[in-house]
Amino acid sequence: MTRSIQILFTACLLILQSLPIQAADKGTVLITGANRGIGLALAEQFTAAGYQVIGTARKPEKATELAKLGARLEALDVTDTDSVAQLSNRLEGIAIDILINNAGISGHNTKEFASLDIEQLDWVFQVNSFGPLRVTQALLPQLALGSKKQIINISSMMGSMELNTWGGYLGYRGSKSALNSFNTTLSVEYGKKGYTFVVMHPGYVQTDMNNGNGEITPTTSAEGIFKVVSGLKPADNGAFYDHSGKTMPW
């Protein structure tokens, strides 16, 4: 090997060693509702850590911040069976290591139960409870190809019946309690198959859902969630954690 070729080889090797770890080395994470708030902050965390991120939004053409991260953008309405099925078809054969069901809404609420329009509560259940079920069910083939097989359902302390000491928010509370119950059932059914189902309380986060009146930023929440998810083990299957890794009461 001539001196010039040796120099060129060494230079190429140094360049390769300085490049960030490729996404394929870490795996693939799919995050629903990744165009803003906690979802976007999670996409930032996983992208920075070297994961391939698939982010969904109802209108992906408007998810400009997500696009800047280099994530794969996919259209998804978690309340629409056809939309969910189409997503699964587009991702056929792609291994998904981590699924984060993040998309959610606060839904209809009133200060007085007597004035609550119960019929309007259906929508919050369609998004917060049945949405994660639809997405998880549709992506089972992709999750089966993944090495981690982790399903993270973003819930809330509002879904904890033990912590419900001030009432109100019937639709939101009920939808998150239902999500917690679904997660427990699926953890039992799929735990022996190598899957890990976890629900997480992200904290009281400053998002559009509460008009920015939270206690922590989406970035702080996402940093904590990322740390917890990164440390998950099979023994965590069926657990309920907050963003700091604290076990939450049911």
CA gap 126, 84 in Å, rounded: 13
> Who's near 68: CB < 8 A, 6+ residues apart?
none
> Who's near 102: CB < 8 A, 6+ residues apart?
31, 32, 33, 34, 38, 39, 42, 154
CA gap 84, 99 in Å, rounded: 14
Task: List the structure tokens of 195.
Answer: 């899957």
Residue 26 designated active-site? no
Residue 176 designated active-site? yes
Going from the C-alpha of 179 to that of each of 14, 50, 209, 211, the distances in angstroms are: 49, 29, 18, 24
Task: List the structure tokens of 52.
Answer: 């391939």
Catalytic residue among 176, 177, 187, 241: 176
Residue 175 designated active-site? no
Task: List the structure tokens of 103.
Answer: 């998309």
Under DSSP, the state recorded for 22 is P
Catalytic residue among 83, 106, 129, 155: 155
Catalytic residue among 172, 190, 195, 241: 172
Q: Name the burial class of residue 161, with classes exposed (0-12), middle (13-18) and buried (19+) by CB atoms within 10 angstroms of its CB.
A: exposed
Say if CB 128 and CB 159 are below 8 A apart: no
Under DSSP, the state recorded for 127 is I
Angle between helices 37-48 and 218-230 (to 10 degrees): 50
Catalytic positions: 155, 172, 176
